[in-house]
Structure 1
Amino acid sequence: MGGYTLIENAPLVTRNTLRVAARAKLLAEVRDAAKLPELLDFPAIRASRPFILGEGSNVLITGDIDRAVIAMDTRGVHVEQDGDVARIAVAAGERWDDFVRWTLGQGFAGLENLILIPGTVGAAPIQNIGAYGTEVAEFIESVEAWDLTERRVVTLDRSACTFAYRDSLFKHEPDRFIVTAVRFALPRSHTLRLDYAGIREELERMGVDKPAPFHVAEAVVHLRTRKLPDPAVIGNAGSFFKNPIVDAAQGEALKREHDQLVAWPGQDARWKLSAAWLIEAAGFKGMRDGDAGISNRHALVLVNHGKATGQELWAFAQRVIEGVQTRFGVRLEPEPMVIGTR
């Protein structure tokens, strides 16, 4: 069919980076966003709200999905220059890392700290992806989406997206919007973020004393490659747990009791704690139960060593959450969306 393909009882094992062998009742691969209204009128899709799937790098599928799954495979990048700022509209199906590398090649700044994050451009605002001191929301001007409730295309500016730490309007209303494009405003130059998680030290190792955005990107690639397991080698969804945020009193009490605690006091009387430190201190780094476990390279990463089911991976994640809660009185939350029969 023009603009999309429908597949019944579709296998999803190659469409999620945790390599869970789940199936979708119906999978729609969309190549033309303009065809969404036609596609959504199919009875099998109209019967229940569809689940939107990008590259599956931020999802844990705990069972077969008994509803339609829509995968946005759209492509396209459109640039408008506005002085020293480029306004760039990007189709939801473009790969995020490819887009970041393209912006660097064009001389645009801003996204260098977000290189090598898996997933699609359309997924980026949903999670408000972030890394090494940068969040994508800083550079998003607006998000274009199909509103399943109002049955029309809507354009949501940055404020309407209600971005927060690993959060957005789209996470709070997960069955309402299908992101079709994201519009970015990227400067030619901006103040580089160098004071997070070893970037300066990596630049020194590289022999760079006057870094440009592409130098920072290279440093981040080195850091991520060393710390995080490659989904092509072992199934994972990147950082599985959010860094918890607690009030200052709890943060200070934990620091007094555990002087090695890694934490970042904020400006709003709240502290962000390192989930990786908490998980490792609770003894879970490198632990496994069958094929489900925590990476021995990075404590934030839930891994599938082979043929773990989504239920087994979710059960292990719950074990980690309960263990950290018991040890530190802090409850971790998953970063990825958890979908399926739990």
Structure 2
Amino acid sequence: MQIETGVSLKPYNTFGLPAVAQTLVRITSDADVRRVLDHPELGRAPKFVLGGGSNIVLTRDVSQVVLKVEVKGRRIVEEREDAWIVEAGAGENWHEFVTWTLEQGLPGLENLALVPGTVGAAPVQNIGAYGVELKDRCHEVDAVDLVTGRSVTLDAAQCRFGYRDSIFKHELAGKSLITRVRFRLPKPWQPVLGYLDLERKIAETGITAPDARQVHDWICDIRRNKLPDPQVIGNAGSFFKNPVVTQEQCRDIIGRDPEIVHYPMPDGSFKLAAGWLIDACGWKGKSIGRAGVYEKQALVLVNRGGAIGAEVVTLARAIQESVYGRFGIRLEPEPVVV
């Protein structure tokens, strides 16, 4: 267990926002968590779990004990008749893990390539992209209770996954630290191609039956063309959730704005493209202070250089008010504001 004080968190959040952790502990195992809980000073102090920092907006220094998750390891657990079970430590880079599974000949996560963050953060957010969500592939999640120090395992049903949501954002928020995640990669593999960007790739290349590696490469190419690299321009990926509305609400909005991008959902509701709503309100490329809306994708807010968390929050609220004023829809942020 490594304890550090006065640690800058700027390198540990993809927005590149300035903040300092009063105390930071690097967690590499379940035992490290228990050592923190048994510590005479740190044990009873409030805790803040930090993964890859790709889903937070830091607006202040962090007085809680920051538990930086750095649990490593990747392995094939078992091969079943209908699926492969693979496991990764919560501190593993998500995209690198996805690539590793394909190198092992285990497809199923390719649509989630280049999603920023760590493996441990993936179930919290129930990450999703291009027709696949983490809940579709999650088998089990290992975590440590931050009160008792006990290790627990939750299956996919117990994680209560929803759209960019899970039990880790509610009942277990601040009460558990994810250490490992196991995934179920189904056999036989079937590509998920029902998105316009992927259909364009099929038309461009003439490849009508792509393998998993081809889908992975297409996804990477699409994301790199649409989204900024956090190493170059600070950002937290998609800043707002795509709102879900009833059929009646969707019909009403289409009546006023026929070009609105919308997707039918299995339950009869419709998902609207938040980026389209923001763009329609004229925000693409605009800035407030040193925080701005990315020129190529209105769903992404960026740090134009030297931004602070308050500027990002001010920009986000202005966008929310603008979209509500025009469409009567309240956009919900994806990142956690600290």
- The TM-score with structure 2 as length reference comes to 0.96
1:33 is displaced (CA, Å) by 2.6
RMSD after superposition: 1.3
Residues in 1 aligned to 2:73 and 2:118: alpha-carbon distance in whole angstroms: 12
SS at the partner of 2:143?
strand
| 1:86 and 2:84 matched | yes
Partner of 1:219: 218
SS at the partner of 1:93?
coil
Q: 1:159 is matched with which residue: 157, 172, 177?
A: 157
1:72 is displaced (CA, Å) by 1.1
Partner of 1:34: 31
Distance 1:138 1:161, change over 3 A: same
SS at the partner of 2:240?
coil
| 1:20 and 2:17 matched | yes
Residues in 2 aligned to 1:139 and 1:185: alpha-carbon distance in whole angstroms: 5
| 1:7 and 2:19 matched | no
Where do 1:173-252 residues align within 5 Å? 173-252=172-251
**Alpha carbons 1:85, 1:185 under 8 Å: kept:** yes
SS at the partner of 1:229?
coil
Partner of 2:103: 105
1:185 is displaced (CA, Å) by 1.1
Residues in 1 aligned to 2:202 and 2:42: alpha-carbon distance in whole angstroms: 50
| 1:75 and 2:72 matched | yes
1:32 is displaced (CA, Å) by 2.5
Partner of 1:278: 277
CA distances 1:180-224 after superposition (whole Å, capped 9, x unpaired)? 100111135322111113112113323423211111111101100
Distance 1:100 1:227, change over 3 A: same
Q: Which runs of 4+ in 1 moved over 6 A?
A: none
**Alpha carbons 2:14, 2:54 under 8 Å: kept:** yes
Give percent identity, aligned residues only: 43
Residues in 1 aligned to 2:11 and 2:272: alpha-carbon distance in whole angstroms: 34
SS at the partner of 1:326?
helix
Letter aligned with residue 132 of structure 2 = T
| 1:147 and 2:145 matched | yes
Letter aligned with residue 124 of structure 1 = A
Where do 1:305-316 residues align within 5 Å? 305-316=304-315
CA distances 1:131-170 after superposition (whole Å, capped 9, x unpaired)? 0011011111110000124431110011000001100000
Residues in 2 aligned to 1:145 and 1:49: alpha-carbon distance in whole angstroms: 18
Letter aligned with residue 301 of structure 2 = L
Residues in 2 aligned to 1:300 and 1:331: alpha-carbon distance in whole angstroms: 14
Segment of structure 1 superposing worse, 241-250 or 185-194: 185-194
Residues in 2 aligned to 1:125 and 1:322: alpha-carbon distance in whole angstroms: 30
**Alpha carbons 2:81, 2:187 under 8 Å: kept:** no
- The TM-score with structure 1 as length reference comes to 0.95
Residues in 2 aligned to 1:239 and 1:165: alpha-carbon distance in whole angstroms: 14
| 1:56 and 2:58 matched | no
1:283 is displaced (CA, Å) by 0.8
Partner of 2:260: 261
